[in-house]
Amino acid sequence: MSKPGQLTAMISSTAADLPEHRREVEKACLREGIFPIGMENLAARAAAAMPPSPPPRRLTR
């Protein structure tokens, strides 16, 4: 867990996406004193979800 005032970095891809790149980014963050936060460590919140996009409109000429 990060400390108050500590810099953090959000690693936004899921754990299954580019795992070797994620490990390198996490290591780089820690080397620089930045606390990495993986997206998989955050809870899903229904209240923050965006509504689905409307279906595409049919284009006519």
The residue written with tokens 């279906």 in the block is 55
Beta strands in 1-61 (DSSP E): 8-11, 35-38
Quick check: is 49 in a domain? no
Predicted local distance difference test score (pLDDT) of residue 30: 95
Rg, the chain, Cα only: 18
Q: In this structure, what are the phi and psi dihedrals at residue 18, rounded to the nearest 5 degrees? A: 45, 55
Quick check: is 58 in a domain? no
Predicted local distance difference test score (pLDDT) of residue 18: 84
Quick check: is 3 in a domain? no
Q: Could you give the number of structural domains in the chain?
A: 1
Domain hosting 13: range is: 8-42
CB 29 within 8 A of CB 2: no
Q: What is the pLDDT confidence band of residue 5, given thresholds at 50, 70 and 90?
A: confident
Over residues 12-57, the pLDDT tens digits come to 866 777 889 999 999 999 999 999 998 887 777 666 667 778 888 8
Q: In this structure, what are the phi and psi dihedrals at residue 33, rounded to the nearest 5 degrees? A: 80, 20
Predicted local distance difference test score (pLDDT) of residue 2: 66
CB 9 within 8 A of CB 39: no
Quick check: is 47 in a domain? no
